[in-house]
Structures are given as structure tokens and as C-alpha cells.
Amino acid sequence: FFITIWSPLGQESWRLVFAVIGVAAIIVCIARQAMPESPRWLIQHGRFDEAEGIISRIEREMADAGISPAEQVVFEKSAMDSDAHLARNLFLGIVVVIGTSLTQYTYTTFGPSILKNIGLATQTSLLSTAITMLAAPLGALIGALLIEKLGRRVEVSGAFIWVAVFAFAYAMALNAGSTALITVLGFLMTIGFYVLNASVISVYVGELFSTRYRFRGAGISQGAGKAVNVVMPFAVTWILANLQPNVIYFGIVAIALVAAAVTLAIGPETKSRRLG
């Protein structure tokens, strides 16, 4: 997107992209210093005074804002209290994270190259991809707003099906060569990608594991997604050299449908559930 906007600045304009990323990273590093640690984690590690200080500060802020504490709820024993959930939910976590990251990054990384491969000019392909990426914040907002209403299982599986439908339509549109149609379908597909980002990466994977396993379960799932993305460029490059570009999007369809099926088959609904 930045490359498209700043291209009139000359061939060196690509450096500005990395400058913006670097400045943003510095801001995040500074901002995180003010973030409080999780009281639950502090208690687990015997740092009771620090946990009490954070909880007291939260209570003071609630009192100043006129917010009453929530009523204490007694939960029944949950399946998450035992280790039995770990293998199933780890498998599920790996599948949904791979499905989310692999489909999204395949499109965002190779979208312009694929459009150029079917004959669109470089500037046109970059502009089309930039417009579709405007759907990213919209998709994340939709995901955040709906996840408490629909529930995790419904939203995640539904978003995968959404991606599969529009990835298939996008593959068909590549044959037609209509830039407008490709851009519209890419926009709709990108909404699905970022609904998944908001629900899978930010919420669902962490909720699949009890406190004892949360860090390693989410970490292994995220690591699997990153590991598969290492292989993805080689596969896409081979497809572009030997097959039709729309095969890549048929692959996205297959991955999304498998992830949706696994979520519907074994995915627990974690909304308002005790995590253990």
C-alpha cells in the first residue's frame, strides 16, 4: 500500500516502508513498558505483593469510574480441569492457526505477483492489492464485534467457509481478467482473513488451553503456523512456474474447508466457559 502511494517519490521510496515499520515497532516497545503483568501469572510465580498492587489499582480505577465488581460465579467442574483436553485442542489449535496464517499470507504476499502473472501491469496489480487490504481493519472490527454474539466455534468455522467461497470465486475471476471483479472479490476475501485473525489468533487459540498449558499450547500452535509459512513461498513459486495461478486459490479453498470442518467436528465453544 505504501509502495503504491509513494511510488512517485522515486525508486528509493521502498525504504520508507521499512522506516514506518521500524518507527511503529519502537513505539510499541516503549508503550509495552506501561502494560501491567497478569495478576494470575504473578500469583502462580509467588509474586503476591505485585499481584495485589495491580488488583488494587484496577479496583480503584473501577471505583473512580463508578463500575461495580462482577458477581462471583461458582463454576461446575470443567473438562479443562484435566489434561484430557490437551491433545485434541492442540491439534485443533495447530489446524486453525495454519489455516488462518497460510491462507492470509499466501494472498497478501503473492497477490501482486499473481496478478502480474495473468497479465496486469505492475502498478495495476499493486493498486488492486492495496485496495483489498483496506478490508483488513474492517474484517478485524467485524470479528471483534461478532465473536461474543456468535461464539468462537461459529465465527471461526463461518469465517473459514467465507474465505473458501470467495477464494473460489477469485480463482474463477482470474480467468476472466476483470480488474474490478478481482478487486471486489479480493476485498471480500480479505474481510474473512482478518475476521480469522481477530478470532483465531487473538482469542480462540488462547482459550483452548487451561492455564497450565496455555502458553505452550498457543506457542506450539503459532509456531506451526509460522513453520508452514516458511514452505509456502517455494510451493507458490513452483505453482506459478508450472501450473495456472488460480491453482493457488483452489489451494486456499481446500485449506479453509479443512480448517472449517475440523473446527465444527472437534472445536469446543469457549465463550463464557471456565478455562481452568
**CA 88, CA 268: separation in Å to the nearest integer?**
10
| Residues 46 and 92 occupy one common structural domain | no
Average pLDDT on 139-158 reads: 90
How many domains does one find in the chain?
2
Flag whether 15 is in a domain. no
Per-residue cell: 210 = 487451561
215-228: buried (b, 16+ CB within 10 Å) or exposed (e) per residue? eebbebbbebbeeb
Flag whether 5 is in a domain. no
> Looking at 19-23, 70-74, 256-260, 268-272, which range is the least confident one?
70-74
Q: Residue 221, CB half-sphere, CA atoms under 13 Å: how many?
A: 30
| Residues 87 and 59 occupy one common structural domain | no
| Residues 185 and 52 occupy one common structural domain | no
Which single residue is written with the C-alpha cell 501469572?
41
Q: What is the pLDDT of residue 273?
A: 62
| pLDDT tens figures, 108-130 | 888 888 887 777 777 778 888 88
pTM of the model: 0.73
Q: What is the pLDDT of residue 1?
A: 45
CB of 176 closer than 8 Å to CB of 246: no
| Residues 90 and 119 occupy one common structural domain | yes
| Residues 207 and 121 occupy one common structural domain | yes
Flag whether 148 is in a domain. yes
| Residues 54 and 117 occupy one common structural domain | no
Flag whether 197 is in a domain. yes
Q: What is the pLDDT of residue 17?
A: 67
Look up the domain containing 115 and give its range.
82-266
Answer whether residue 177 shows pLDDT above 80.
Answer: no
Per-residue cell: 176 = 476472466
| Residues 156 and 53 occupy one common structural domain | no
